[in-house]
Structure 1
Amino acid sequence: MNWRIDIQKTGVLLIDLQEKLLPVIEDRDRVVHKAVQLVKLAKLFSLPLYITEQLPEKLGLTCKEILELVGDTPRIWKNTFSAVPFLPPELPKVILISGVETHICVRQTVYDLRVKERTPYVLGDAVSSRNKLDHQLGIEEMRQDKVLISSVEAVGWEMIEKAEGNLFKEFLAILK
């Protein structure tokens, strides 16, 4: 299997980055900052973007930092922990994942994506849980199951082809 990221076969999934949930998330500011970078990279490389909201009537909408960037991108409301039952069947082969909580919705989505023969990349710097230990255990379990764990910056560098030109300048501005 080729582990290189082909932007023609890659999409981005933001899981439950909601206003009422984020205040209790460990390292909330880092997670939101990295999710914002990921959205900007998705736009730069024209990647499909999927955004889920868990019970938005209770947990609120996606945080304003993300909403300001995504415009009219549809948000997918869900009532299951895995996002997969609510995602379109024609998903790209590779899915870059940011969101909360690592050990619940992110983890269950990852395993369901694998069942659907997709390759999820969990962006470890763009996911978290309410409790640091739950986050660490979720990452550790997925890593032991050979789920690809990476970072927003690492996948960004994987997607850029050349260290020159306007695209590269825009890319560098995103990662600052």
Structure 2
Amino acid sequence: MHANLKARAGLSQLIIIDMQTRLIAAMPQEALQATIKNAGILAQAASLLEVPTIITEQYPKGLGNTVPELQAILPSIKPVEKICFSCLAEPKFNRQLTSDHTQMVLVGMEAHICILQTALDLIGAGKQVFVAEDAIISRNPANKANALARLRDAGCIVSNTESIVFEWLGKAEGDAFKAISKLIR
């Protein structure tokens, strides 16, 4: 078990997995808006706190590009294209993982496929994995619930957007705190 159970900005990398325009049409719409909003909050907090971020796109020719809401927040990040379900099976993704960041924070879709397989492979690679439960989604809520149970059993820390951003912040002061506080109101 990892001794460090809190997400730390200086140790974290945010991974936004497959939040793509054609994939969102298949998702439960009531949960989808919250998922996109929470992924956006994490993306903005990561940007403010200099947490490196990786965006992936599963077969973008078929599934479209990253949703505009997230592209607008992170315009300078070029998504890593992949066809494998686990991000770690894509060499371009692995080149963006930094050895000095041991905590990976995962958001995106689908929970029971790409999130799950990526998380399991990251754990296998010795990383500490945090999953923002309110920023992941599956077409079928039962599949998401099953994925969360498997992630917990595998040693992932299942958390939520606010817990992660406030753990990254650590204290209630400074410009980043003020900006992030506005995001979550």
Q: TM-score range by the shorter chain?
A: over 0.9
Q: Work out the CA distance in 2 between the residues paired with 1:142 and 1:108.
A: 10
Look up the equivalent residue of 2:156 and give its one-letter code.
V
Task: Identify which of 46, 49, 52 aligns with 2:53.
Answer: 49
* Corresponding residue of 2:131: 122
Look up the equivalent residue of 1:126 and give its one-letter code.
A
Look up the equivalent residue of 2:130 and give its one-letter code.
Y
Equivalenced residue count is: 176
Task: Identify which of 69, 75, 78 aligns with 1:74.
Answer: 78
* Corresponding residue of 1:83: 87
* Corresponding residue of 1:25: 27
Deviations 1:106-153, CA, capped at 9 Å, x for gaps: 000000001111111011000010001111111111112221100010
Q: Work out the CA distance in 2 between the residues paired with 1:144 and 1:13.
A: 21
Q: TM-score, normalised by structure 1?
A: 0.95
Q: 4+ runs of 1 displaced by more than 6 Å?
A: none
Aligned residue runs from structure 1 range 1-176, under 5 A? 1-26=3-28, 27-86=31-90, 87-89=93-95, 90-91=97-98, 92-176=101-185
Structure 1: any 5+ residue segments left out of the alignment? none
Displacement after TM superposition at 1:165 (Å): 3.0
Contact 2:11 2:103 in 1 (8 A): yes
Identity %: 27
The SS at the match of 2:131 is: strand
Displacement after TM superposition at 1:24 (Å): 1.2
Look up the equivalent residue of 2:109 and give its one-letter code.
V
- Structure 1 residues 79-88 or 150-159, which shifts more? 79-88
Displacement after TM superposition at 1:9 (Å): 1.4
Q: Work out the CA distance in 2 between the residues paired with 1:18 and 1:155.
A: 23
Q: Work out the CA distance in 1 between the residues paired with 2:54 and 2:21.
A: 17
Look up the equivalent residue of 2:177 and give its one-letter code.
F
Q: Work out the CA distance in 2 between the residues paired with 1:144 and 1:3.
A: 15
Q: Work out the CA distance in 1 between the residues paired with 2:34 and 2:146.
A: 19
Q: Work out the CA distance in 2 between the residues paired with 1:126 and 1:4.
A: 18
Look up the equivalent residue of 1:106 and give its one-letter code.
I
Deviations 1:79-127, CA, capped at 9 Å, x for gaps: 0000112223443210111010000000000000011111110110000
Q: Work out the CA distance in 2 between the residues paired with 1:145 and 1:97.
A: 15
Structure 2: any 5+ residue segments left out of the alignment? none
